[in-house]
Amino acid sequence: MMNDRDKGIISDLNRFRFLRGEDIAELYFSHTKHPVTQANIVLKRLRRDGLIKCSTERRKYVYYCAERQVKQDSQKIGHFLSIADFYKDIRRIETPRTFNVEPKLGGKGLPEPDIFMIWRGAPWYVEIQRTRYTDKVMQEKLNRYEQYFLSGLWEQEPWQPTNKKIFPYLWIIGVGEYNITNRPFRVFQGGVSEMLERLKYKS
C-alpha cells in the first residue's frame, strides 16, 4: 500500500520524467536527519514493488516510472534533469503555484516551452538551453512565441485571471546569449540568482 509520500514521488516522476536520488531526497526527505539514506530506502522499496525503474548508466542513478520506455543513453534524460535542477533552484526561493513540464500549447507552429509555471505571482514560459543555439534557430523560436502572442489563443488558458489577461514572461536560461529585443512581450535571459536580483529591484 502506497502512502502519500510514495504517491508524491511517483507523481513527480511522471511530471519530471526523470529524477536522481538526490533530487528526491531534497524534495521529500530534507526534513529528516539523513535525507539521502531515507530516500534510498524508499526508492529501493518502490523498485522492488515494480512501481519505478532505475537507470544505472550514469554516475548518479536516475529513476523513472515503471511504464516509461527509456533508451539508457537518451539525450533527453539530461534535458529533464536540467528542468528538475531549475525547479529545485526556484523552489528554494518560493514554491511555484504551477509547474508544468513541456506543456502543450496547441498544434504545429506554436511554441514548445520546456516549462510553464506560475511563480512569485506571475506566469512564465521557460526555455532551458543546454547547448548554444544558432541565432537563426533562436529567432525562429522567438517568432513562434510572437505568433502565439498575436493570435490571442493564450487568453483562453484556464490559469488566466478573469479580470485581466496576461501573456507569460519568457525566460531563457542556460547556455548562450541571444538578441531578445523588439518583441511585444517580456523576454529575460540569465540564471536564477540574476532573475532574483531583477525581481528585487523591480519590487
Please report which confidence band the pLDDT of residue 173 belongs to, taking 50, 70 and 90 as the band edges. Answer: very high
Taking only the tens place, the pLDDT of each residue in 36-95 is 999 999 999 999 999 999 988 777 899 999 988 777 667 789 999 999 999 999 999 999
Taking only the tens place, the pLDDT of each residue in 116-167 is 999 999 999 999 998 888 999 999 999 999 999 999 999 999 999 988 999 9
Name the nearest CA neighbour of 176 among 143, 140, 113, 128. 128
Residue 76's pLDDT is 87
Pull the grid cell for residue 38.
531515507
Alpha carbon of 6 to those of 3, 21, 84, 113: distances in Å?
A: 5, 14, 18, 29
151 CB-near residues (< 8 Å, 6+ apart): none
For the CA atoms of 64, 82, 168, 102, what is the dihedral angle to 10 degrees?
A: -30
Please report which confidence band the pLDDT of residue 203 belongs to, taking 50, 70 and 90 as the band edges. Answer: very low
Pull the grid cell for residue 186.
517580456
Question: What is the per-residue burial (b if ≥16 Cβ within 10 Å, else e) of 138-163?
Answer: beebbebbbebbeeeebeeeeeeeee
List domains and CATH numbers for the chain.
Answer: 4-73 (1.10.10.10), 87-202 (3.40.1350)
Residue 171 is inside which H or E element, if any?
Answer: strand 169-174
SS (H, E, C) 121-152: CEEEEEEEECCCCCHHHHHHHHHHHHHHHHHC
Distance CA 77, CA 55 (A): 10
Alpha carbon of 157 to those of 131, 134, 136: distances in Å?
A: 30, 31, 29
For the CA atoms of 21, 25, 28, 31, what is the dihedral angle to 10 degrees?
A: 170
Burial of 176 from C-beta contacts in 10 A (0-12 / 13-18 / 19+):
middle
Please report which confidence band the pLDDT of residue 200 belongs to, taking 50, 70 and 90 as the band edges. Answer: low
Distance CA 48, CA 195 (A): 42
Name the nearest CA neighbour of 62 among 11, 23, 27, 5. 23
Distance CA 28, CA 30 (A): 6
